[in-house]
Amino acid sequence: MMVWLQVLALVPMATGVVVLLSALRNRDVFRNH
Amino acid sequence: MSSIDVSVLVGYLLLVMGALFFVRPARSMNDFALGGRSFPSLIAFATLAATAIGPGFTTGLMGKAAGGGLIWVVVFCFFSLQMLITGLFLAPRLRNFPEAVTLGDIMGARYGRVAQGLTGVITVLFSAGIVGAIAKVSGTFIHTLLGIDATLAIVVSTCVVILYSAFGGIKADVLTDVLQFAILAIGIPLILLLELPRLPADFELSTALALSFNAGGMDMAAFAGLAFSFFFGEFLLPPYAARAMSARSPGVARRAFILAAAFSAIWFLCMGIIGVLGRIILPDVPADALFMALVQALLPPGVLGLVVAALTAIIASSQDSFLNSAAVALTRDIMRRPTGAGLLVTKGAGILVGLVGMLIGLYVPSIVEALLLAYSVWAPTIVVPLVAALVFRRVAPIAGLAAMVGGGVTTLGWTALGEPMGVPGLMAGMAASLLAFCLGSILSPNPGASPGTPAAEEEGA
């Protein structure tokens, strides 16, 4: 149970990192031309 | 707060500010409202999730679960279910109106100018209310955690949000939302990880969670009413719709909503468990003060700064999105400015709504409550005609207007009467709206296909 709760907390944290990397890769879409 | 915490917080704020220089001011309405429809799935998902996850979905849920048990997670998950259904069936269809910049444009194309104006007025009123309500909450948090004067905190934090939102348009909102999403998704669940080692050694975790499932003794009728409200209350709110409309393609919009639905459900479970466990670790703290107490009791130096940064992220990412929608709705739906016109008016509208929202949040909270009535009439006025506009090829303009007026008036009246028979105002209003729409459709002589009629179900993949 303890392990599952740790996984539950880590899923959003990992999502945050993935989103950050994706934004870095796609940084050009943020620029107003 | 220690100096490490302050540096973490300041570092995060500088990063967000620095990123904004990269965006540069928006120059056209399309850039301002839709960002040239360029956002890919993960970015559209992050901005959608960051917009939806405000204080209510975080500290609000922690408090509810601490007092009433994990049944509140099930209630909140009806919001996730709504996001899923919207993503599967409706979000891609918003793209069938290529000229539309706002939801009001879509309502206007199918039901006429009055419908567009009404949609705009409701959007502007509740956006100002939400900006004010969030400003009030944020002032209290910042005051408790940092000891800064609440008024000063509200003015500074809201003005920063108003400025970047008014000048950078949706691209600035989305960029900050992405950074804010990352920090909130990392910072808040940390509390759960730090709670686990603090539980008593002989503690039966699964038993405790099961036993406290419905600690508040919520009955079936209350559960049904709440579930209904969480499902429909935020149905296709303008900032969510704007994210579907600014995604790169209909398929991207669909994926973003589905991901946000899944993420929000995981998030709710996380927040609920933080609340229930927090109550076990700190049994003497009242449920609504639990978040603050947990933050102060559990977090080591450095992490506290991260969590405070996450809290500012939760607040700003919701405020900026509502401000953008309000600015565009005021300019397009109420003032009827063409999309090609200059942005001065739109930027001014954003600043105006933000400042008014902030000032009433600070000085006249009773008006915030009045403005949030506009939020409570969103679903009863808009959902039935909007869904019909997206799904049906032919709709009668009179049916749309009847649904909007009937739903809105019924909700306000029902609420004023004290919600007879325990039926929530939202539920009565939705029923009236549906009834009025059906009656209007039957009585209307010949519902003509209007200019914005959706094209065949070309939704892309």
Q: Which residues of B touch A22 (CB under 8 A)?
A: 40, 42-43
Q: Please give the Cα distance from B349 to B354 (Å, whole number).
A: 8
Task: Give the model's confidence band at B448: pLDDT under 50 very low, under 70 low, under 90 confident, else very high.
Answer: low
Residue B456 pLDDT: 40
Triad B69, B74, B79: Cα angle to 5°: 130
Residue among B326, B316, B273 at smallest CA distance from B65: B273
What φ, ψ does residue B91 adopt, rounded to 5°?
-55, -45
Q: Please give the Cα distance from B377 to B194 (Å, whole number).
A: 40
Residue B175 pLDDT: 94
Q: Compare CB distances from A12 to B25, B178, B189 and report the shortest one's residue.
A: B189
Task: Give the model's confidence band at B411: pLDDT under 50 very low, under 70 low, under 90 confident, else very high.
Answer: very high
CA A23 to chain B, closest CA, distance in angstroms equals 7
Q: Is the pLDDT of residue B404 over 50?
A: yes
Residue among B417, B305, B374, B309 at smallest CA distance from B129: B374
Task: Please report, rounded to a whole number, the percentage of residues in chain A having pLDDT higher than 90.
Answer: 76
Q: Mutate which of A19, A21, A25, A29 to disrupt the B interface (most B C-beta within 10 Å)?
A: A19
* Span of B85-89, B322-326, B362-366 with lowest mean pLDDT: B362-366
SS3 for B39? strand
Residue B455 pLDDT: 45
Chain B residue with minimal CA distance to A19? B42
Q: Are B171 and A31 in contact (CB under 8 A)?
A: yes
Q: Which residues of A touch B45 (CB under 8 A)?
A: 19
Q: How many CB pairs under 8 A join A and B?
A: 100
pTM of the model: 0.93
Q: Please give the Cα distance from B63 to B76 (Å, whole number).
A: 13
Chain A residue with minimal CA distance to B197? A2
Residue B227 pLDDT: 95
Q: Is the pLDDT of residue B460 over 50?
A: no
Is ipTM strictly over 0.90?
yes
Q: Are B411 and B426 in contact (CB under 8 A)?
A: yes
Using the beta-carbon criterion (under 8 Å), do B43 and A22 form an inter-chain contact? yes
SS3 for B247? strand
* A→B interface, C-beta within 8 Å: 1-2, 5-6, 8-13, 15-20, 22-23, 26-27, 29-33
Q: Which of residues 384-403 of B touch A (CB under 8 A)?
A: none
Long-range contacts of B431-435 (CB under 8 A, 24+ apart): B432/B380, B432/B406, B432/B407, B433/B380, B433/B381, B433/B383, B433/B384, B433/B385, B433/B403, B433/B404, B433/B406, B433/B407, B434/B384, B434/B403, B435/B406
Residue among B303, B307, B342, B16 at smallest CA distance from B180: B16
Q: Is the pLDDT of residue B267 over 80?
A: yes
CA A4 to chain B, closest CA, distance in angstroms equals 11
Q: Are B384 and B88 in contact (CB under 8 A)?
A: no
Q: Compare CB distances from A6 to B31, B43, B193 and report the shortest one's residue.
A: B193
CA B83 to chain A, closest CA, distance in angstroms equals 18
CA A6 to chain B, closest CA, distance in angstroms equals 6
CA B165 to chain A, closest CA, distance in angstroms equals 13
Task: Give the model's confidence band at B446: pLDDT under 50 very low, under 70 low, under 90 confident, else very high.
Answer: low
Q: Is the pLDDT of residue B157 over 90?
A: no
